[in-house]
Structure 1
């Protein structure tokens, strides 16, 4: 029998029922509320600063875009950009795979897309009636508005094939990466302590060699966007 190529191995991985699986609800950034406030205030202050420098109708038009974006920035950043995430992981004898997706109702995406079109219209209106100078203060707002017109949920998939050797590296609480002989970039995992030994047991079962390593990458870091497990679904 001819050996399977990479694409065929991945098809086999996803077609084989999992031996072990787990699912988590995760807060991706423990300081996301403070970050959202800072982002919102930054855009608002930019708009106010423009109006202070240009206290006229033209200045008000130029300043309106960043002020409007600033008012929308908090809910966009807090409840959309940094929304809770659902992580699903599965292991079988051929490897591991995962799916990660933000937990956001579809109505929220619809509101953001429609709001973005309103923002685009404001930027175009400003450019037509004021001229290119309007984009001096609103360039970032215009770019963000056009980008957000197609805002939607896109599940992220990852996979790692077993090849006989596996190393599980622990970077900090609940955060791991799995390395194999031919996968040197690391397959990222969120593993709650209650499931760690069971997961290690399954990985050992399908690999001839297994190693564990702890690497404290964030020991001296003052700024850590540390994810937190909110719920173990299964």
Structure 2
């Protein structure tokens, strides 16, 4: 029997029944409230600069855009995420996706087009100086006109050697002999031992290491588990 190529191994990984699985709902950014505040502050400062150069209603454009963009950043861009992980005899795979109702994507896309139009009119009426405040808002609005949920998939094949690095708190990375970039994992403490036992079962060699990449970072936003679904 001919050995399977990498694509065939991935196909086998996904169709093989799971040995262990878990699912989490996670706040991916513990500092998202602060980020939303900074976004609004930048928009307000842009409006102040416009008003200083040309006292008119146009100065309200970046402020209005900021009022709409701030909740979008907090509840859409930095929304909670659902992570699902599966381990079987051939390796691991995962899916992750933001938890956002489809109606919210529709509202964002339509509102973003309105924001684009407002920014364009601002530039037409007051000239290039409008880019001081409206330029950044316009760029963000154009970016969000195609805003939609895109599930992210990842996989890692077992090859006899596995090393689990604890990066920080619930954040882990799994390395194998042929996977040097690290398979990202979110592991609650209550499930850590069970997951390690399963990984050991299908690998001849297993190592653990704690790597605190953020020990010198005071402003690192760390993910927080909100719910362990299973």
Q: TM-score, normalised by structure 2?
A: 0.95
The 1-side partners of 2:135 and 2:194 are apart by 52
CA RMSD of aligned residues (A): 1.4
| Structure 2 residue ranges without an equivalent (≥5) | none
The 2-side partners of 1:191 and 1:207 are apart by 19
What is the aligned counterpart of 1:124 among 109, 120, 123? 120
Q: 1:146 maps to what in 2?
A: 142
Q: TM-score, normalised by structure 1?
A: 0.93
Q: Is the 8 A contact 1:65 1:119 kept in 2?
A: no
Counterparts in 2 of 1:83-232, with a 5 A limit?
Answer: 83-232=79-228
Structure 1 stretch displaced more, 120-129 or 198-207 = 120-129
- Distance of aligned partners of 1:31 and 1:133 in 2 relative to their CA distance in 1, 3 Å threshold: closer
The 2-side partners of 1:132 and 1:204 are apart by 62
Q: 1:69 maps to what in 2?
A: 65
Runs of 4+ in 1 over 6 A off after TM superposition: none
Provide the secondary structure at the position in 2 that maps to 1:38.
helix
| Structure 1 residue ranges without an equivalent (≥5) | none
Structure 1 stretch displaced more, 118-127 or 202-211 = 118-127
Q: Is the 8 A contact 1:65 1:141 kept in 2?
A: no
